[in-house]
Chain A
Amino acid sequence: MVTAMIEVKGLRKAFGDHVVLDGIDLSVPSGAIFALIGPNGAGKTTLIHILSTLVAPDSGSVRVAGHDVITDKEGVKQSISLTGQFAAVDEVLTAEENLRMMGRLCGLTAAEARRRAIELLASFDLTAAAHKRVKTYSGGMRRRLDLALSLVVTRPILFLDEPTTGLDTQSRRALWNDIRQLAAKGVTVFLTTQYLEEADQLADAIAVIAGGRVVAQGTADELKSRVGGDVVELRDENDEIIREVPTGSSIREVKMTIDELVRAAPEGSRVNIRRPSMEDVFVALTTKELEESAI
């Protein structure tokens, strides 16, 4: 049975005169990994804050796990865990103490909390540093502890605000694996990211927001096909890209594009035809929106 775990209709939020969210509609099915992408300041964090009851919406209907975020905050809180943009860890305590504190707050007994802390320290590769104060941790270690804290008990929905910002490639891939495993267990994951590759690799569904509105929503492939056909790259003899030209996918359109490039192409250059990347999608969708809002 597929039901919507997160249902947002006509959501608006302004801070003073500054309109951050201008009529958002979203639906996230149960057990999905949902990625929200958009330029800086597009309102991604505000949306997560509204979904997690930290900020009240101005208007619109927002239901999380079937609970209204205004009239049934407690119901929402019982169904979610949040990992915010800044590592929400207690720097004075050790990793183990952080985890045990969270366990106790989640209603575990002292013994259960201790056992769970040991498990999580092991699975997030923090056992060696378990008894050091978090103050001394690297950015990657903090982030791993941060995520571990969100997983002390498994709630139906996990919010991750830019979970891999500041992580090296290896830690990022490890985190992606953790997220996939959670989704496989049935957790609905709602994440924001600046990395388009992350959305492409990880998410079952992606929403692009710009200018306070959802400008596109769908799977990575759906979004790519919305941008149209292929991209013709012109590369010089050192394989550096000189130009990228989006075009249709018919042979005629591709040929016309190449004919045009031939005139400008320097000696020794060559072409490469590829499917559009998430980056092409992102640029196409967000610049279109910015141009429209500028009119």
Chain B
Amino acid sequence: MNSLIKPAKSASFASTNAVFIGRSIRHSVRNTEALVMAIALPIMLMLLFTYVFGGAIQPGGHYVNYVVPGIILLCAGFGSSSTAVDVAGDMTNGIIDRFRTMPISSMSVIVGHVIASLVRNLVATAVVIGVALLVGFRTTAGIMEWLAAVGVITLFILTFTWLYAAIGLVAGSPSAASGYGFALLFLPYLSSAFVPTDTMPTWLRGVADNQPITPVIETIRGLLTGTPISDVAWWAVGWCMLILVGSYIWASWAFNRKAGRR
């Protein structure tokens, strides 16, 4: 056998991840429509809730101080949902077969999409906060509260991105992935994101108080505007960790199962 042809070395785990993260970030930057939407939607929602609905919901003004955490999460949820489409697109293209037959950690393709989503959504969050400050959002947070709030938002984005990645893996096509993902986007509306839950009918209040988004929102609200947090922070972190671990296991299972089937 020719000496040039030997079983080749392959990339380390770290550089495999780095390559796929770079790939997904390139994809994000080149998908102009999605990128514009990810930046424009938060701004539109912020203006809509502050100037159109705000007066009716809280006639005294300062609704902006109430709604900012809700808009951050709504946008993060929307922004993460495109991960389902990206992942489903990769799984239906022949490129995944190529990655799978290489001596690398092929699950890193998914990790690349997740990290790109995290970066995209943190940028969108920064835009939301910037616009919020322009339209009159006033925060009581010091540096520690800001860091804690960014930590919670990061955890939330990671959690929902992995959930969407798993949805993308089990969906048959990118458009199916987009459809399933859409259903999840109603969750923030059934929470304390836009109105306090005690204004809702009792049965709905039960749902809103006990779903994962409400404690996350109350935690961010408390950190940024000084409302009481008490033990909701633990609920927020607990819910996120539970969904994150569950989604990661689901995604790994779906990824390996697809390998055996095709």
- Please give the residue numbers on chain A whose beta carbons come within 8 Å of chain B beta carbons, in ascending order: 30-31, 49, 52-56, 65, 74-75, 77-93, 97, 101, 104-107, 133, 149-150, 153-156, 185-187
Interface size class for chain B? 35 or more
Residues 212 to 262 of chain B near chain A (Cβ within 8 Å): 259-262
- Checking B7, B26, B94, B102 against A93 with a beta-carbon cut-off of 8 angstroms, the contacting residue is B26
- Please give the residue numbers on chain B whose beta carbons come within 8 Å of chain A beta carbons, in ascending order: 1-2, 4-12, 15-16, 19, 22-23, 26-27, 30-31, 93-104, 259-262
A52 to B101, Cβ gap below 8 A? yes
A106 to B8, Cβ gap below 8 A? yes
Q: How far is the CA of A31 from the CA of B95 in the complex (A)?
A: 26
Known: A79-B7, A104-B15. A92 touches B2 (CB 8 A): no
B97 to A186, Cβ gap below 8 A? no
CB neighbours (8 Å) of B16 from chain A are 105
- Checking A101, A105, A107, A185 against B4 with a beta-carbon cut-off of 8 angstroms, the contacting residue is A185
B10 to A155, Cβ gap below 8 A? no
B101 to A80, Cβ gap below 8 A? yes
Residue of A nearest to B27 (CB): A92
Known: A153-B8, A156-B5, A185-B5. A54 touches B102 (CB 8 A): no
Q: How far is the CA of A256 from the CA of B95 in the complex (A)?
A: 57
Q: How far is the CA of A64 from the CA of B93 in the complex (A)?
A: 25
Q: How far is the CA of A74 from the CA of B105 in the complex (A)?
A: 10
Give B109 Cβ to nearest chain A Cβ, in Å.
10
- Checking A84, A89, A91, A105 against B104 with a beta-carbon cut-off of 8 angstroms, the contacting residue is A105
Q: How far is the CA of A107 from the CA of B13 in the complex (A)?
A: 10
CB neighbours (8 Å) of B93 from chain A are 86, 88, 91
CB neighbours (8 Å) of B10 from chain A are 78, 105-107
CB neighbours (8 Å) of A105 from chain B are 10-11, 16, 19, 99, 102, 104
Known: A88-B94, A101-B19, A154-B4. A106 touches B102 (CB 8 A): yes
Known: A55-B262, A101-B19, A104-B11. A82 touches B1 (CB 8 A): no
CB neighbours (8 Å) of A54 from chain B are 97, 100-101, 259, 262
